[in-house]
Amino acid sequence: MAKVKVITDPEVIKLMLEDTRRKILSLLRNREMTISQLSEILGKTPQTIYHHIEKLKEAGLVEVKRTEMKGNLVEKYYGRTADAFYINLYLGDEELRYFARSKLKTKLDIFRALGYEFDEGELLNVMDKLLKKEHEYKTDISREIEAKEDELRDFSNEDIIHAIEWLAMARMGRDGESIELIKKLGELLKK
């Protein structure tokens, strides 16, 4: 299984963001599971889970890892095709951009609850531009990791994900536009 898989197809990203599929991918992060196991945990019919598994298989996110005979039946155990999937919500697809921006609006509600005052439109635009830059860097770094899969085999997924974060910050620290956006963010978010 790959450590990191970069997902760039907007349709696959949308497929991953659907609630049940997101939960299935999360459950399969730690172990292989059957349709009946997933069905029981998620409280959905086996037919519903099978439908979602098939969509995830078609997208290359899930695969049959092994089979076991249970009486006369063959049980398939499904697992992820990568330990971590990296998606970029800033690939030009308007629906994904809307989703990314709506997630940012939740952060604004948190800032308000903490007592910060700001111009919502201006702050949202700065955060959106910063996040777009961050996603671009993380996508590039994740591709580097995909290409060096063998050299990184002994590192934990958590360590690799943290390395992606740090490398993205380092690249943003060398990017003049990112630095200006971070300064603007600091100006806008003051108590």
% pLDDT > 90, the chain = 63
Which domain-ending residue is among 69, 84, 99? 84
Give the pLDDT confidence score for residue 86 in this predicted structure: 85
Nearest to 5 by CA among 55, 45, 62: 62
**Token pair belonging to 149:** 């899969």
Give the model's pLDDT for residue 92.
64
Q: Residue 179: pLDDT band by 50, 70, 90 thresholds?
A: very high
Report the length, in residues, of the chain. Answer: 191
Structure tokens that stand for 89 in this block: 């919500």
Give the span between the Cα atoms of 1 and 168, in whole angstroms. 24
How many domains, the chain? Answer: 2
Task: Indicate the residue among 84, 108, 125 that finishes a domain.
Answer: 84
Q: Is 60 in the same domain as 106?
A: no
Are 63 and 95 in the same domain? no
Structure letter (DSSP) for residue 37: H
Give the residue numbers spanning the domain of 23.
2-84
Q: Which long-range contacts (CB under 8 A, 24 or more apart) does 121-124 make?
A: 122/188, 123/185, 123/188, 123/189
Measured CA to CA, the distance from residue 101 to residue 130 in angstroms comes to 12
> What is the mean pLDDT of the segment spanning 155-177?
92
**CATH number for 14:** 1.10.10.10
Same-domain status, 51 and 127? no
Please state the φ and ψ torsions of residue 190, each to the nearest 5 degrees.
-125, 150
| Higher pLDDT, residue 78 or 97 | 78
Q: How large is the average pLDDT for residues 101-130?
A: 92
Local structure of 25: helix, strand or coil:
helix
Whether residue 30 sits in one domain with residue 104: no
Determine the pLDDT at residue 165: 92
- 75 and 96 belong to one structural domain: no
DSSP string of 74-94? EEEEEEESEEEEEE-S-SS-H
Tens-place pLDDT, residues 14-68: 899 899 999 999 999 889 999 999 999 999 999 999 999 999 999 999 999 999 9
Query: In the listed set 35, 67, 84, which residue is the last one of a domain according to the structure?
Result: 84
Q: Give the pLDDT score at 1.
A: 72
Residue 81 has pLDDT above 90, yes or no: yes
Task: Lowest mean pLDDT of 20-24, 77-81, 90-94, 118-122, name the range.
Answer: 90-94
- Are 176 and 147 part of one and the same domain? yes
Mark whether 7 and 30 lie in a shared domain.
yes
